Structure 1
Amino acid sequence: TFVGPRLSLTGANADEWIEARAGTEGAVALAVAGVVAAARGVTLPAGVSAVSPEAVADAAGVSADAIRALGEELAAAENAVAIPPGLESQGAAARQAHPAVAALNEVLGAVGTRVFPGGGAPEGTTASFADIQALIGRMRAGQVRTLIVSGCNPAYALPAAAGFGEALANVANTVAITPHLDETASACGWVLPCHHALESWCDADLADGAMALGQPLMHPVFDTRQREDLLLDVANAAGQGGAFAGADYATVLRSTWTERLGGDAAWLDALRLGGASAAAWAGDEGADSGADPAPAGGVDGFAAPQAPDGTQLVVYPTAQFYDGRGANRSWMQEQPDAITKVVWNSWVEMHPDMAESLGVDRGDVVRVESAQGAIEAPVYVYRGIRPDTVAIPLGQGHTEYGRYARNRGVNPLDLLAANADPGSGALAYAGTAVTVSATEETARLVVTQGSTDDQDREIVHAMNVEDALHEVEAHEIDLVELVEAAWDSDPNSPYRWGMTIDLNACTGCGACVTSCYSENNIPTVGEEQAALRREMSWMRIHRFEEEAEDGGFQTVQQPMLCQHCGDAPCEPVCPVYATYHSPEGLNVQVYNRCVGTRYCANNCPYKVRRFNWFNHDARGRGDGGAFAWPLNLQLNPDITVREVGVMEKCTMCVHRINKAKIDAKEEGRTVRDGEVMTACQASCPSNAITFGNLKDPESEVSRKAKSARGYHALGELGVRPAITYLEDVTHRHMPAGGHGEDEEAH
């Protein structure tokens, strides 16, 4: 169950949605805790007063019955756990939400069994927004003569209302130590270029006393230096160099770790492991992180939230950009947003009811205005948001920070007040009231998925968990289908490569898409070409909304890539035999045969082939190309870089297959199960993707392909895909005869 104002990626993977207003999640958690405690006959933790569902229902915008039903459901569950809200719900009472969730976990019996409180960040290592506000006040008053900024971009990442930019102008000496010319660096008097994180030595104090250790993974690309070496030079110039045990940071780091751990052997072991445990780092002193103790769950002084007036604004981080730090990565700009599938831009999410009242639709520009400022951006209509709420993603709207980030989209932080949570000092991202109005203008909004409805084509399947259990019991394996699939290769070959993708495990994060870009030298094409549907991604993530019996919808995420069909429609139409069926069952694309007729793309029912309309290196486009120096250094030497006029698609990482076969041949054997992992499989955080040999009946991919949940996308076409999808399973009841209940799909 997800509680919040907007179905985020986490919410989209939930079975139930309680549409609470942003910033009221803590109040809902406390009310639910009271229901659970009463149902289980336990008392609330010390310092926690019971709050009734009726007391918070109006402010949260949720019925008391829904809150009570959630509490009763959790009370009856055996292994329930609650997780506090994220940054998008961090309001003026954010500090209250976490103890409230801790109290709920306490009455659920999760603390010590499923939830293990840690010490958190060591005291004094992290400045809160309230601390930054105090610094800004001193800067305004002329009390700061020299300011050194490194590792952050406050001129962009703080609300404009905080006044950091104006205060910075009052500081006589401003220095930015940074690998990027971002907004803050551009406003500083001195810019000292430093190494990227992948070029640097570093260590970090983790929770509970453990230490992390990092070493350079590559030589410096530019004429830069380690950040700490620059600071050491400043210390030496100021006559303070004797305080450090080394001429450079690498020496200081090694001497410190060697002394602490007890010798060079321990240092080398820490390098290999990437750090040291709390016990090893503490040595004879005993493991003590010096961190604040975990909150005990008290919610002293809890104030029930008040029902807000007007439209509420939600600003939220994305996987691509977070708070804006990823916006200068072309891969991230061209990675479709997990929910909207928008690329290269900002947007305003609103409920269909609000869009209808304003007379706007997707791509129409609206003006969002608060007491602090106003922005204009195109609309994305999304029914996974409250009707009284609009949402804008963080990360765009840069005025500096490189060619991919500059002057692209809007920064919703311009709408926020410089308010801090009095309990924690954190910035209040939630709680801003706005007015929304139509502008009678339209803007280009590039959405890579045409519809969230699969038009009853059975592309994705979702089924109730009880139906899934019934199907497992009644499932009979179709041996004819399995034999056909396994032998869609040369009978003399020991291999028929295939894949399974578990839609119940897939979260739709898109890590597989980006890893495919990285592994296979796939170019980014930019906003204009993406608007013409000329993006080059070999994989895409479908997000379909399947209707449920309760009138809501169930989101199903589906990675779509070349299916490597046993009877592939693309193969017979190629006039030059550039695409053909390999002896191991792969659908192969030979680049130097391709003459670019694009017949194969026209005949592909899955629309997963990509055509190179341009050369994407420095010769190809006016913006310098996707691989202009130094981006050419990221190219995988095992993969050909394709040129204009050539078709390309997923190869199932055939170069990795060939390497495993060569290694196996040297040992006089065949490839073992698990020795080949495709790039998408290796990057999947939920292990939704399994790859292997379908001819091996003991392989994991063969076992999963026989699952009762298994089906083929567009299976009625009879093209015998090598990819088997496993149906999504939900606690919601799907309509009878709906997706997932077609017997022929099994």
Structure 2
Amino acid sequence: MASNKKYWQSVEELKGSSVVETLRNNEFVQDIPTDEFLGDKETLETSSTSRRDFLKYVGFTTAAASLAACEGPVRKSIPYVVQPNDIVVGVADWYATTIADGFDFANVLVKTREGRPIQIMPNKEAGGVTSARTQASVLSLYDEKLRLKEPRKGETQISWADADKEIIAKLNELKDANEPVVFLTGTLASPSTEKVIADFITAYPNVKHVVYDAISDSAAADAFEAMYGKRALPDYDFSKAEVIASIGADFLGDWQGGYEKSYADGRRVETGKMSYHVQIESNMSLAGANADKRIVAKPSEQVFALINLYNQVTGGSLPSKATAFDTEVKQLAKDLKKAGSKGVVVTGLNDKNAQLIALAINKALNSEVIDTKAVNLKRQGNDTQVAQLVADIKGGKVKGLITYNVNPLYSLSNAADLAEGIKNLKLSVALSTQDDATANATQYTLPSPHNLESWGDVMAKQGVYGLMQPTIQPLFNTRQVQDVLLKWSGSTVNYYDTLKEFWSTNVLGGASWNQALHDGFFKAENVTVEEEIAFESTADVNAAAVQLVRKANNASGFELNLYSSTALGDGKQANNPWLQELPDPITRASWDNYLTVSMADAKELGFENPVKDNGAIDGNYANVTVNGVTINKIPVIIQPGQAKGSVGLALGYGRTQGLKSEMQVGINAYPFYQNGNNVQYNVSIEKASGWHKFACMQVQSTLAGRHDILREASLKEVNDKKLDPKHTWNKPFMVSYDHQEVEGSKIDLWDEHDRSLGHHFNLSIDLTSCTGCGACVIACHAENNVPVVGKDEMRVGRDMAWLRIDRYYSSTVEDKQHDAKMTLEEFKAQNPNIANQEVERRYTEKVLELSKGDLFDALENPAENPQVAFQPMMCQHCNHAPCETVCPVAATSHGRQGQNQMAYNRCVGTRYCANNCPYRVRRFNWFNYAENNEFDFNMNNEYGKMVLNPDVVVRSRGVMEKCSMCIQMTQATILKAKKEGRAVNKDEFETACSSACSTGAMVFGDINNSEDTVTALKEDKRAFHVLDYIGTKPNVVYQVKVRNTNEA
């Protein structure tokens, strides 16, 4: 790949902002508030204290502080009188279960301590994949603010017995009068629950079950039904793909549940093969950021690209329109035809006609990547039925409504119509875990348990079952929805017995229930799927194209793309501080949603994102109107890679009912989500007054212009055995030493130590497999009791995350050399005594300097369509750590197993270690974040504290902290092996981040064990260390990011 790449993290950095340059040179984003520690300025100026007295007092107070630091807070414990048989104090128990909340579905393992769930990990035996939200859902279990605790009628608490009696009576009245009642749920994907609902409808024939997904794939399900006769979604195995064409589908995000694992499996560089991924989109998404080729297109242009692709692949002549990237589409069609059954096309346009055309292309390719038999059941919402329901309730046709874990009064675009109709219903009941807007509008509100308190089953893919089991006794007076329906149906059997009976009869086929419960999943061999030939398709792609083109041709003004954020998704977990504080993988902003606009549109509309002196970012507001609906004062972020003429806005924010005031952030974009369509045309935007304050980590963590942080190569280069990586695509940084050019990592200021004894831990991170999803960040929070600091502290760079995922944009410097017109060879000739790599670096800098600080003149449309790379960054656990040598009290030191360790009770908070860390990964506790009302998050209430890991201390004010390489986990593994009288098994060591990584990008292990995977990865030809030329000798090794340029 081109060696003249320029990496940048923000638009302001790209512009060469003087503020950004100042921030680069500052050790801290804010001046040290000396007055706060030493007293007010006037007192200091008038003090007569001599220098000798000052030093004497400093010496005394330092000693006193050191002694005080040795004192731990008093905690009174109450021992078990009779210890439970299934709990061993100090030992974690793990339960296999399934998460299913209607939007996120995952097979997981739940870690419990003393009966408390404290962490969620993917159940990899079941093929489980966890997102950041799945990881964070353990904290939502302890949400004492939002969770419903008791049944109530109106605002009055009521007993379950009274609620049952009154509701059953009303249900019978409505049944006798044959007046319609609707049971409204999200996607359940639960065979046993569907059986319970069917029995409930048998008892009350006037009841109808309607499925509503706040973020819908209804159009895709409708298209699949028209093509294959079953209302479902196709499933995809991207590991089988050679060519992937995605048109607006963020399949590495939330599109139809996410497919990051199979995608990564199809891009294992060590196999010598990678899928070729082309993304056509308007917003910069995770799929687009990871694509080999990204084509920027407005949603209306995506329509024409899809139809043109169909015509090119099939030889058809559907009506369409030429685009500016027709050449790229033609080449993509050639690649797809060449791949044949190994090619696949997906689209995120929630339009039945667009989905039909995508299915037709896959059918023409005879694609093996798409599975139309064992289908995906994660999205079963029906927008047509939901729209009819709202109309019927408003019109008085429906007399009763029972909802389960849906919040339509927040997420429906026409929620006002529903709210008006609910007031006139004869019966309205909300079965919910949360005290949300809908729960507050119904006559009866009945609390449901959290997933981790529940029994259940899930079939997210046909034939593959997951079991859900409780990992804790219910915290509140809740009852499962299945038990509620059974009770109202007149059954005397509870749901647990019903579930076992259903599985015994319909699923297990003689297999063991206990084994299935232990494993958390079961793959049924006796499940048959319908043959496609049994159904005659009613799909008419020509009519579909006509309708698509008509809509796209009528598009004017801006085009809006509504999407779900990696953090909040559909908004169910909006009261979860871990998710609110998780930076967006693309914009790096947290605690907000915003309108993303292109640089060109921002210039025309007058939008700016100025960087403040403390590193914070501000933004203008916009008033946005969609089909007569206006939302005022939406904050604006200028997004590189955004298609001109389009804007983006995340759903899931702006909730208020039941949330803490700190969590009531962002704009509710659901009023724009009309007819369940994620694309809206004819959008008008105008600039509004005022400035919005963002908590954005783009600038604060900039690495001061240091080089050799990221390395990239093409698949062709990596596969070329004639190329020596150390002289081509993975060149080490060279320095001049004793008048010779040597590798920077070979220069050492300290003597080496023998590290061959015992264990020596390393972490390998594959930049090719890392999609930037953020699951590892949340896993680290959960395992290590990382505090939440809130928007204001995040804004000034005081975040506490031990692990961050840096996002880098890259653009290529043009060959033209502005004023000097000097070639690289000429520059080398003028500087014969400089090492090759250094002279190339200086040459690139000289080219950029000639543009007088504005990099736009030196780069090829840098903000229009940059490439993106993600790099997880944590403490590198350097064998020669610069932080260790400057600590005056030896609070940070190096362990024999390679971990850079912190002794919190020794730390006096000088922050010298943070000054001397080249990776900017150390975090300082400016405040006590626990038991501090100014930080009213999970560490400040009795329920929230239940999620804390007792193996990791909660740090106090004035203490430095950082990644520990999960030393508590490595020690537990060593102890377990010792107790069992054996050596530690291959790859048995894990950290929280490596366990949570679904793509296998993070691999942890012992390099003194030759069998551990990380041992080979450390010596792989793609391996490199960040900033290794400064001699830190890191124990974190990265693998060069590889892109398939379709040349291999």
Using structure 1 for the length normalisation, give the TM-score.
0.85
**Native 8 Å contact 1:489 1:584 kept in 2:** no
The structure 1 residue matched to 2:428, chosen from 174, 183, 190, is 174
Select between 113-122 and 128-137 the one with higher mean Cα deviation: 113-122
The structure 2 residue matched to 1:399, chosen from 650, 656, 660, is 656
Select between 687-696 and 508-517 the one with higher mean Cα deviation: 687-696
1:9 aligns with 2:286: yes
Distance 2:911 2:534 in 1: 62
Distance 2:904 2:891 in 1: 7
SS at structure 1 position matched to 2:398: coil
Query: CA 1:444–1:206 in 2, change beyond 3 Å: closer, same or farther?
Result: closer
Partner of 2:445: 191
**Native 8 Å contact 1:336 1:342 kept in 2:** yes
C-alpha deviation, 1:473, in angstroms: 4.3
Distance 1:655 1:724 in 2: 21
C-alpha deviation, 1:532, in angstroms: 2.3
Map 1:183-222 onto structure 2 (within 5 A).
183-222=437-476
Distance 2:419 2:581 in 1: 30
C-alpha deviation, 1:255, in angstroms: 2.9
Distance 1:396 1:588 in 2: 39
Deviations 1:182-205 (A, max 9, x none): 121122222111111111111235
**Native 8 Å contact 2:782 2:948 kept in 1:** yes
Distance 1:451 1:57 in 2: 43
Distance 1:732 1:456 in 2: 27
Deviations 1:696-730 (A, max 9, x none): 44432222122222222122222111111111112
Give the counterpart letter for 2:597 in structure 1: M
Question: Where do 5+ consecutive residues of structure 2 fail to align?
Answer: 1-277, 610-618, 733-741, 814-859
Select between 213-222 and 66-75 the one with higher mean Cα deviation: 66-75
Deviations 1:324-362 (A, max 9, x none): 112121111011111111111121100001111112212
Partner of 1:737: none
**Native 8 Å contact 2:1026 2:1038 kept in 1:** yes
Partner of 1:739: none
Query: CA 1:25–1:353 in 2, change beyond 3 Å: closer, same or farther?
Result: closer
Map 1:370-389 onto structure 2 (within 5 A).
370=626, 371-389=628-646
Query: CA 1:338–1:488 in 2, change beyond 3 Å: closer, same or farther?
Result: farther
**Native 8 Å contact 2:938 2:944 kept in 1:** no
C-alpha deviation, 1:376, in angstroms: 1.7
**Native 8 Å contact 1:209 1:289 kept in 2:** no
Map 1:192-591 onto structure 2 (within 5 A).
192-233=446-487, 235=488, 240-241=489-490, 244=491, 246-260=492-506, 266-280=512-526, 299-302=541-544, 303=546, 304-305=548-549, 306-307=552-553, 308-362=555-609, 363-370=619-626, 371-403=628-660, 407-417=664-674, 419=675, 427-450=676-699, 455=705, 457-470=707-720, 473-475=723-725, 490-491=754-755, 493-548=757-812, 551=861, 552-591=865-904
Deviations 1:142-173 (A, max 9, x none): 22222111121111111137722222223233
**Native 8 Å contact 1:712 1:724 kept in 2:** yes
C-alpha deviation, 1:457, in angstroms: 2.0
Distance 1:728 1:294 in 2: 46
Query: CA 1:471–1:538 in 2, change beyond 3 Å: closer, same or farther?
Result: farther
C-alpha deviation, 1:599, in angstroms: 1.3
Compare relative contact order (CA 8 Å, sep 6+) and give the higher one, 1 or 2: 2
The structure 2 residue matched to 1:51, chosen from 295, 318, 338, is 318
**Native 8 Å contact 2:457 2:467 kept in 1:** yes
Give the counterpart letter for 1:326 in structure 2: Q
**Native 8 Å contact 1:397 1:407 kept in 2:** yes
Select between 253-262 and 641-650 the one with higher mean Cα deviation: 253-262
Distance 2:533 2:421 in 1: 33
Deviations 1:476-498 (A, max 9, x none): 6999969999x965546232211
1:711 aligns with 2:1024: yes
**Native 8 Å contact 1:27 1:97 kept in 2:** no
C-alpha deviation, 1:529, in angstroms: 1.6
**Native 8 Å contact 1:122 1:292 kept in 2:** no
C-alpha deviation, 1:460, in angstroms: 1.4
Distance 2:523 2:661 in 1: 40
**Native 8 Å contact 1:25 1:85 kept in 2:** no
C-alpha deviation, 1:276, in angstroms: 4.4
Partner of 2:328: 66
Q: How many residues align?
A: 691
Query: CA 1:531–1:358 in 2, change beyond 3 Å: closer, same or farther?
Result: same
- 1 or 2, which has the higher strand percentage? 2
Query: CA 1:300–1:212 in 2, change beyond 3 Å: closer, same or farther?
Result: farther
Give the counterpart letter for 2:766 in structure 1: D
Distance 1:200 1:340 in 2: 36
Query: CA 1:674–1:512 in 2, change beyond 3 Å: closer, same or farther?
Result: same
Select between 15-24 and 386-395 the one with higher mean Cα deviation: 15-24
Question: Where do 5+ consecutive residues of structure 1 fail to align?
Answer: 39-48, 420-426, 735-746
Larger Rg: 2
SS at structure 1 position matched to 2:343: coil
Distance 2:799 2:377 in 1: 45
Partner of 2:959: 646
Using structure 2 for the length normalisation, give the TM-score.
0.62
Select between 17-26 and 368-377 the one with higher mean Cα deviation: 17-26
C-alpha deviation, 1:446, in angstroms: 0.7
Give the counterpart letter for 1:430 in structure 2: V
SS at structure 1 position matched to 2:1021: coil
Distance 2:644 2:339 in 1: 31
Distance 1:702 1:79 in 2: 37
Partner of 2:848: none
Distance 2:486 2:694 in 1: 48
C-alpha deviation, 1:644, in angstroms: 1.6
Deviations 1:274-306 (A, max 9, x none): 3544445x6xxx667999969797525121423
Select between 68-77 and 291-300 the one with higher mean Cα deviation: 291-300
Deviations 1:350-388 (A, max 9, x none): 000111111221212222122122232221111211110
Distance 1:358 1:663 in 2: 62
Query: CA 1:57–1:327 in 2, change beyond 3 Å: closer, same or farther?
Result: farther
Give the counterpart letter for 1:56 in structure 2: K
Query: CA 1:556–1:252 in 2, change beyond 3 Å: closer, same or farther?
Result: same
Distance 2:656 2:344 in 1: 39
Deviations 1:405-446 (A, max 9, x none): 7531101122343x3xxxxxxx22212322111123101111
Give the counterpart letter for 2:759 in structure 1: Y
Query: CA 1:670–1:206 in 2, change beyond 3 Å: closer, same or farther?
Result: closer
C-alpha deviation, 1:96, in angstroms: 1.8
Partner of 1:118: 373
**Native 8 Å contact 2:437 2:657 kept in 1:** yes
SS at structure 1 position matched to 2:372: coil
Query: CA 1:50–1:530 in 2, change beyond 3 Å: closer, same or farther?
Result: same
**Native 8 Å contact 1:523 1:616 kept in 2:** yes
